[in-house]
Amino acid sequence: REQPIFTTRAHVFQIDPSTKKNWVPASKQAVTVSYFYDVTRNSYRIISVDGAKVIINSTITPNMTFTKTSQKFGQWADSRANTVFGLGFSSEQQLTKVACSFHSTTRYTFGNTRFLENGKTIIHFDQESGCETPSSTQASSVNGTDDEKASHAGPADTQLKSENDKLKIALTQSAANVKKWEIELQTLRESNARLTTALQESAASVEQWKKQFSICRDENDRLRHKIDELEEQCSEINREKEKNTQLKHRIEELESELREKETELKDLRKQSEIIPQLMSECEYVSEKLEAAERDNQNLEDKVRSLKTDIEESKYRQRHLKVELKNFLEVLDGKIDDLHDFRRGLSKLGTDN
């Protein structure tokens, strides 16, 4: 009953049911996406199969809208499947083809305007919408052809045929509407069942989320405490780094001093090589010093004896001075006596 209108390839995505924001890939690679028309139900359907898995089975309804979100990506919401489908194409032309099919389907099929020729839609390119739309001109020509064919029959047959066609169209539309309503009712029941199950699961998961929240809060407190400990350890590590830096500077200073001491030690080792010579010279000097000390002792003894002689000579000198003084006094007396004697002799000579 379904006739393929066109087929393309695209990457299929579905909206994340938990966040309703992120896209979840439904296929690992580009898959075939087909656009079908059901003549019996007068409905359109998009189908995509990846191997044995049905990825898309979306029946087009009047309230559906295909939205272009970029040059190569479009999306539409399927209330029956309770999800949002997204298609990523390799070119903008493929995206435009799917968007125009949506546009034509929702605008002309569900607007009770169908133009068929041999079971296919007669369409042309509408410059205002940028899509191919059903052509009333071609449909008129087709209907004109049918009218020309019917003009050969009588007026009564023409009227009966027209009424019969109207009844067939009404019957087809009513049957299609009944099936469509049955499908929508079944979809609503399934959606209600899924919503009930989801509500029960969400009610059951509330307690689990509460427990997980409590566990996460305890874990958060533990992690905060751990972070405080790590920060304290980091501060201690920084202090240790500062100490290590100071120790490195001190070690460098000590190494520099050690090199200086090694240099001094080398010098001392070089000097130690001449220590035996210095020791022999020291012994020689010690012997000379002992001899000098002995000579000095002898000289001190001589000095003491000379001092004694000097004291004795001083004493004799003082005694001689006293005796000389006495002698001089006696001499002076004698000289005076001699003068007196001379004066006496002179006087005697004068008298004589």
Q: Which of 17-21, 270-274, 307-311 has the lowest mean pLDDT?
A: 270-274
pLDDT at 11: 93
The CATH number linked to 78 is 2.30.29.30
- Between residues 200 and 48, which one has the greater pLDDT? 48
Residue 127, pLDDT above cutoff 80: no
pLDDT at 233: 87
pLDDT at 170: 58
User: Percentage of residues in the chain with pLDDT exceeding 70?
Assistant: 79
Task: Count Cβ atoms below 10 Å from residue 104 Cβ, excluding itself.
Answer: 20
Specify the number of domains making up the chain: 1
Q: Quick check: is 245 in a domain?
A: no
Domain containing 33 equals: 4-116
Determine if the pTM surpasses 0.75: no
Q: Quick check: is 342 in a domain?
A: no
Q: Quick check: is 31 in a domain?
A: yes
Q: Quick check: is 89 in a domain?
A: yes
Q: Quick check: is 191 in a domain?
A: no
- Please provide the average confidence, as pLDDT, over all residues in the chain: 78
Mean pLDDT of 299-323: 88
Cα angle, residue 118 at apex, residues 182 and 161 outer, rounded to 5°: 80
pLDDT band, residue 124 (cuts 50/70/90): very low
Q: Quick check: is 23 in a domain?
A: yes
pLDDT band, residue 165 (cuts 50/70/90): low
Q: How far is CA 2 from CA 45, 93, 126, in A?
A: 9, 25, 26
Residue 135, pLDDT above cutoff 80: no
Q: Which of 233-237, 273-277, 342-346 has the lowest mean pLDDT?
A: 273-277
Q: Quick check: is 27 in a domain?
A: yes
Q: Quick check: is 14 in a domain?
A: yes
pLDDT at 85: 93
Q: What is the pLDDT of residues 66-111, one digit of tens each?
A: 899 998 999 999 988 889 999 999 988 888 888 887 877 765 544 4
Residue 282, pLDDT above cutoff 60: yes
pLDDT band, residue 178 (cuts 50/70/90): low
Q: How far is CA 137 from CA 113, 133, 134, 144, 280, in A?
A: 13, 11, 9, 10, 140
